[in-house]
A and B are shown apart, each in its own frame.
Chain A
Amino acid sequence: MTWRAAALLAAGAATLPLWPAPFVGVILMTVVVLALTAVDWALAAPPAGIAADRDGDRRVRLGGTATVALRLTNASARTLRARVRDEWVPSAGARPDVPPGRVVRMDPGAGVDLPTRLTPSRRGDRPAVALTIRSYGPLRLAFRQRAGHPATPAWTLRVLPRFDSRRHLPEKLARLRVIDGTQVTRGRGEGTEFDTLREYVVGDDVRSIDWRASARRSDVLVRTWRPERDRRLVCVLDTGRTSAARIGDQPRLDAYLDAALLLTALAARAGDRVDLIAADAVVRAVVTGAGRPALLTRLVDAVAPLQPALVETDFALIAGEVLRRERQRSLVVLFTALEAGALGEGLLPVLPRLAARHRVIVAATHDPVLTELTTTAPGRPADAYAAAAAWRALAERDRLRAALTRYGVTVLDAPADRLAPEVADAYLRLKSLGRL
């Protein structure tokens, strides 16, 4: 029953002073209202006779808005008057176009689309949870509502990482083209791999003239070179406890993802093959490089649901996984945090095996809070103690860096927003030196 039944009964109560036998009036009016309610309930369209389906976006970038439509079809023989509540998880940011307070009217056999606009506030999979339909009778004195009728059509919106670092991509690609030699700024392309022979134009380096080929033809030919292609690159994401710490407003893992995506976009354009492994105590995601155009899409899709786990990262597992998958020499970019406890006990024992076969870069985000603690003049005794603790943490980190460098590992330590371009620069530097 609804508020209308109660209001009807309350309005009837106002007539009671006129009744000769008031209590008989109470019973009579109550019976009448209940009977009307029962008739109304019987005339309401059954919720089980409604078919529900969904259609719309499957993916959205974080910060964007997706639209998913709920399609209801009234398969019963009665007109449906219903309030519809389509529930998503709170972080999906769902705003239905038709609010749940409004009554939707559908004739028998008709269908209606109820679009919901979703502006997710977090990365990952955002599922629709429950669909509730409250079917009213023609007098709206009573309603029918059954949990699970109709069944909630499943839908999951995958929220992709924001990929803020893609604004660095044009610049890095321009540098890549310079290295590649496709853009004539410095004559021949850098690199060691023979590319083609072409006619000499003014401005080419005379040292690259291939005299033997020029002799065969009546023209002066120059050799062009290009960087090696089809090198291999492995991004390893540490999703363990250190990746959960928030630098600024986002966890470290998000900075890792951002940098890994920029690196992947760059390497895919440079013709290298990119694999990705995300692991903490277990392997969370693996993407092996495949067809170049779909690589970035697949990668984004694979890393979107990753979340930090509060466990210690098993670097032996990671090293074993990398060594098992990558037989050729590759560039391994390990995204992690420079923490003495986690890396010193986990990574250092397995690093020799890894560094012997692959070239390793450790990319870490450093914490602006430590810099803040050590560079501001102390104002209270607590600040002095904090500065001491921060200096000690920095000394430990320096020692860890030194230990890593001894194995020939390149250590990148950058603020969260600078991590992606730094990693890309390191990659381009190696590329231009032909040391990949």
Chain B
Amino acid sequence: MTAVPHDIGPAVPAPTAPAPAAAPRRRRWHRLAIPLGLAALLTTITVVTHAVDQPDPTEPGFLSPVATDADGGSRLAEALRDRGVVVQRETDPLRAMLATAGRATLFVPAPELLHPGTLGALRDLPGRTRLVLVDPPRQVLEATGLPLVPAGRRWATRAVGPDVDGLPCALPEAARAGVAAAERQRYAVPPGRSGAAVDRCYADGLARVPRSTETVVIGASDPFRNDRIGERGNRELATGLLGTTGRVVWLDLDGPAPPPPSPDGTDGPSWPADSEGPGGGTGDDGSPGGGDEPGGSGDDRGDGDSAADGRPPPNPLWAAFPAWFWALLTQLALAALLLVLWRARRLGPPVSEPLPVAVRSAETVLGRARLYQRARARGPAADTLRSAALARLLPRLNLPADPPPDAVSAAVAARAGGTAAQAHDLLYGDEPTTDRELLDLARSLDLLTRTVAGTPEAARADAGPHVRPPVAADPRPPDPVAADPPADLPGPDRPATVPRPRPAPPKEDPR
């Protein structure tokens, strides 16, 4: 029976199957899907709510003086009439422009519905006419020759003061209105036309171009709408912008306006005529719109668009290589994709297992040593070393426990050499004050115990403290730092020179 046979005995019961393997996988999937799904849901809800909330200028009834719903402008029309302003509703762009003869204000709530052919005409309205455009897109700004470009759009309208950017607002109406919900689409002067005189208010949400036709561009429709006209200074701003001339021609379009009848034969959408030179001063050359531009409208439009978008012309690199080269690259990329798909599937998952705990031996002792050192506890350390040395010395010097220091010093001096004063200083001297002194003390004590032990090598081999006779008479718990001198019998089981291989525990089996 010297070996443990490992193939006999009852078979261990069948090991438990790794049943809960599926659960962590599902949970891991959840860990990814739940937060992402939550974020997607929140984003969707926000976008949908915003789309529902924001009015669509192309809908019929948007800012119409006769529409009483939230997007309509009936309250604005009433407010204007209350101020004595004549509101003249027009549904045809040309008639509206004709109606501006004399001093009037042309209010265009939905400029993108205007046909491009009509836009050119807006720039030569009769003088002393004020033109108010609500949130005009880039094409309209270009076609009407205004020195403005869109410069950033807010997610929602913000109510700001008229001179929020530090400069005072030059429009007296805006200054009267005060804080109003006018900042949504901002406008800036294009870099090439920085000399143009433009008054900007409401953090660039409102711009006035004082040309022959005074044009006011506002980026938010909120001050005019029924649902928000009552807030802050909105009503004041809207009526102020529209009511300065005493008569408002309100262009109320239900849908995209038809092309204007062509008096000069070209029924042309010629609106990008001025866009050929974004930096040029063509806005003031007085050319009558783009109606004179011959040629196919499609090409013009395409060129204009590409120039406006800043798209570069076709890359000449395409033509630098034959077509098969690009095909080759494509096919190699597809092959690389197949390689990726092949390598992406691993042959089985990585396997993990818990590691056993590893606690270094004597960890607490070494930690306490470092604490001693950091606290510079040289006194307690020296006390411990001295009492340990005494505990080793006394049995070998045949001295009783707890002897008078003089007797110990004399015995040590007699045995190991030196004077009694040196031995006394070593064993009962002052606390060391530096690390160097402590080290010297430790070395001297070590040397002394070896000398007294007589046979250093043999003593070293087993005279370790762990075989010291137990301190049987010390009933106290291990509380004091400096160990007491051993209180047991000095001699009997510790001969001075002959090391015993292993002293048996003293109280064991005496009978």
Contacts and interface: CB of A to CB of B under 8 A. Distances in A.
Interface stretch (A56-64, A111-119, A190-198): A56-64
A111 B471 CA distance: 72
Interface stretch (A45-53, A81-89, A177-185): A81-89
Interface residues of A, number: 123
A226 interface: no
Interface string A267-293: 011000000000000000000000001
- 4 nearest A-B pairs in the assembled complex, by CB-CB distance: A22-B327, A132-B348, A156-B15, A395-B483
A169 B4 CA distance: 12
Contacts of B447: 377
Contacts of A10: 331-332, 335
A390 B368 CA distance: 9
B471 A23 contact: no
A370 B341 contact: no
A245 B359 contact: yes
Given A13-B331, A58-B11, A129 B324 contact: no
B507 A405 contact: yes
Contacts of B505: 405, 410-412
Interface stretch (B113-121, B282-290, B436-444): B436-444
A373 to B, nearest CB: 7
A49 to B, nearest CB: 19
Interface string B415-441: 000000000000000000001101101
Nearest to A307: B356
Contact of B347 (A85, A90, A297): A85
A402 B472 contact: yes
Nearest to B380: A388
A415 to B, nearest CB: 10
13 contacts: A16-B331, A25-B331, A90-B353, A122-B356, A131-B348, A147-B349, A244-B359, A296-B4, A310-B359, A397-B466, A399-B478, A401-B470, A412-B505
B155 interface: no
B357 interface: yes
A232 to B, nearest CB: 19
Nearest to B366: A386
B364 to A, nearest CB: 8
B21 to A, nearest CB: 8
Interface stretch (A158-166, A215-223, A323-331, A349-357): A158-166
A156 B12 contact: yes
Interface string A101-134: 0000000000000000000001001010111101
A188 interface: no
A19 B323 CA distance: 10
A22 B323 contact: yes
Contact of A388 (B372, B446, B473): B372
B478 to A, nearest CB: 4
Contact of A30 (B6, B15, B334, B470): B334
B48 interface: no
A76 interface: no
Interface in B120-156: none
Interface string A33-45: 1000000000000
B14 interface: yes
A127 B12 CA distance: 13
Nearest to B474: A399
B202 to A, nearest CB: 54
Interface of A: 1-3, 5-7, 9-10, 12-13, 16-17, 19, 22-23, 25-26, 29-30, 33, 57-61, 64, 83, 85, 87-91, 100, 122, 125, 127, 129-132, 134, 145, 147-148, 152, 154-156, 158, 160, 163, 166, 169-170, 241, 244-247, 251, 261, 265, 268-269, 293-294, 296-298, 300-301, 307-308, 310, 340, 344, 366-371, 373-375, 377-378, 380-403, 405-406, 408, 410-413, 429-430, 433, 435
Given A5-B342, A245-B359, A411-B505, A344 B366 contact: no
Interface in B1-55: 1-9, 11-12, 14-18, 21-22
A249 to B, nearest CB: 11
A367 B470 CA distance: 17
B509 interface: yes
B478 A26 contact: no
A386 B18 contact: no
A131 B385 CA distance: 61
A3 B439 contact: no
- B1, B370, B380, B385: which has the most chain A beta carbons within 10 Å? B1
B363 interface: yes
Contact of B372 (A3, A368, A385): A385
A375 B464 contact: yes
A28 B22 CA distance: 41
Interface residues of B, number: 94
A90 B1 contact: no
Interface of B: 1-9, 11-12, 14-18, 21-22, 322-324, 326-328, 330-332, 334-336, 338-339, 341-342, 345, 347-349, 351, 353, 356-366, 368-370, 372-373, 380-382, 384-385, 387-388, 435-436, 438-439, 441-443, 446-447, 460, 463-466, 468, 470-478, 481, 483, 505-509
Contact of B327 (A23, A122, A163, A399): A23
Contacts, number: 293
A383 B442 contact: yes
B358 to A, nearest CB: 6
Contact of B476 (A16, A26, A387, A399): A399
Nearest to A308: B357
B472 A7 contact: no
Contact of A381 (B5, B322, B324, B435): B435
A1 B18 contact: no
Contact of A26 (B330, B365, B442): B330
Given A1-B341, A16-B324, A29 B360 contact: no
Given A60-B6, A384-B439, A391-B384, 18 more contacts: A7-B335, A87-B348, A130-B349, A145-B347, A158-B12, A244-B359, A297-B9, A298-B9, A300-B4, A371-B466, A374-B388, A378-B439, A384-B435, A388-B380, A391-B387, A393-B364, A398-B470, A412-B505
Contact of A385 (B323, B357, B370): B370
A297 B471 contact: no
B330 A381 contact: no
Contacts of A380: 439
Contacts of A408: 507
B466 A413 contact: yes
B464 A374 contact: yes
Nearest to A340: B478
B442 A387 contact: yes
Nearest to A94: B351
B347 A100 contact: yes
Given A307-B356, A398-B470, A12 B331 contact: yes
